[in-house]
Amino acid sequence: MDIPDLKPELTFPRLGTLQGDIEFAFDAKRAAMGPHIAVRWGWDESFQRNLHLQRFAAKPFFEIRKRDRRIGTLSFQVSPDHVRFGEFYLFPDFQRQGIGSQVLRHCLTISDELRLPVRLEHLHWNPVGSLYRRHGFEEIGQSEIHCFMERPVS
């Protein structure tokens, strides 16, 4: 499923398998998640790149574009019983401006129209958890490093 535009300025082109798309998505991850990963394990470029390639091959990635600028990525995957939301990375210059909330609300609206709950995960120490809680997500489980959340259909 493609993600409809969020007019007037946000679009969500699907990323393909071209090397430039893969690199763009990895750059977004490194910029947004790198500090949160490095604080716990350090940044191992080879390990992170391999993990990224696995995830990029396993699920649909979308570019987040504001007008003509590539500002981040997300994955939006529809299953029969839920939507999986993830790989949600904004470059630091676009964080804390309300863009993340706009994108998340847009994806939640789509999920509500599909009558499906939304599931995601985040690192326990990543402050993005507060964004998810503000938008109705509740913790449904956890691992040593991840908090698993779900937002029911509204």
Contact 61, 15 (CB under 8 A): yes
Residue 87's region, left for phi above 0, alpha for psi from -120 to 50, else beta, is left
Amino acid 45: pLDDT: 94
- The band of 74, judged by pLDDT with boundaries at 50, 70 and 90, is very high
Q: What is the pLDDT of residues 136-154, one digit of tens each?
A: 999 999 999 999 999 999 8
Q: What is the pLDDT of residues 13-72, one digit of tens each?
A: 999 999 999 999 999 999 999 999 999 999 999 999 999 999 999 999 999 999 999 999
Amino acid 91: pLDDT: 98
- Please name the amino acid found at residue 42: G
Amino acid 108: pLDDT: 98
Q: What is the pLDDT of residues 78-133, one digit of tens each?
A: 999 999 999 999 999 999 999 999 999 999 999 999 999 999 999 999 999 999 99
Across the chain, the runs of DSSP E, i.e. the strands, are 10-11, 61-66, 69-78, 83-90, 118-123, 138-142, 146-151
Closest CA to 54 of 21, 22, 20, 32: 22
Amino acid 97: pLDDT: 93
74 vs 112: CA distance, rounded Å: 18
Amino acid 82: pLDDT: 98
Q: Can you name the CATH fold of 10-151?
A: Aminopeptidase (3.40.630)
End-to-end CA separation in angstroms for the chain: 20
Amino acid 16: pLDDT: 95
CA neighbours within 13 Å on the CB side: how many for 23?
A: 3
